[in-house]
Amino acid sequence: MTDLVSRIAQKAHLDNSTVQQGLGALLSTIQKQVPGDTFAKISEAIPETVGLLSTFQQRTSQSNEGGGVLNLAGGLLGKDAGALGTLISQFSSAGFSVETAKSFIPIALSALKDRISPETMQQVDAALPGVSSLLAG
């Protein structure tokens, strides 16, 4: 198991498999929201990216529960649901409860922040508006 997954699992008090799904959900959301060159920088800094995305996509292809959650997010959040709605949908597809996602996301983002440049992290933060309010609320 990779150091990234193990470190997050320990901090989040989750098993490695759950952390892999959560990282896949987070990276999938980021991939959908940032320009391709920004995501390429993330993939370079985090070599596990391809494997994490693959594992996550295998799970979501077997379970198609995200659509209803995305529609619910859109209804609750209105026209600004975009990235936040995608994030909610991805974590739902990964099997996360709202509470687990709320505790996992800051830990995962902190771990990513340790690996990617500050400029790239700023682009990620800008691409995920509303995440801070979700985590605080």
Q: What are 59-89's pLDDT values in tens digits?
A: 877 665 544 444 444 444 444 456 777 888 8
The pair of three-digit structure tokens given for residue 61, joined into one six-digit string: 């292809």
Domains contained in the chain, number: 1
- Average pLDDT rounded to a whole number, residues 35-42: 96
Residue 135 has what pLDDT?
Answer: 58
Q: What is the pLDDT of residue 89?
A: 84
Domain region containing 32: 3-130
**pLDDT of 2 over the 50 cut:** yes
Is residue 87, in this structure, part of any structural domain at all? yes
**Mean per-residue pLDDT over the chain, rounded:** 83
- Residue 52 reports pLDDT greater than 80: yes
Separation between Cα atoms, residue 100 and residue 85, nearest integer Å: 16
Length of the chain: 137
Q: What does the block give as tokens for 106?
A: 């800051």
Residue 135 lies in a domain: no
Measured distance CA(29)–CA(103) in Å, rounded: 17
The confidence band for 29, taking pLDDT boundaries of 50, 70 and 90, is very high
Between 5 and 134, where is the model more confident? 5
137 lies in a domain? no
Nearest to 36 by CA among 97, 123, 119, 100: 123
pLDDT greater than 90 at residue 46: yes
- The confidence score (pLDDT) of residue 62 equals 66
Query: Does residue 116 belong to any structural domain of this protein?
Result: yes
Residue 136 domain-assigned (yes or no): no
Query: Within a domain: residue 71?
Result: yes
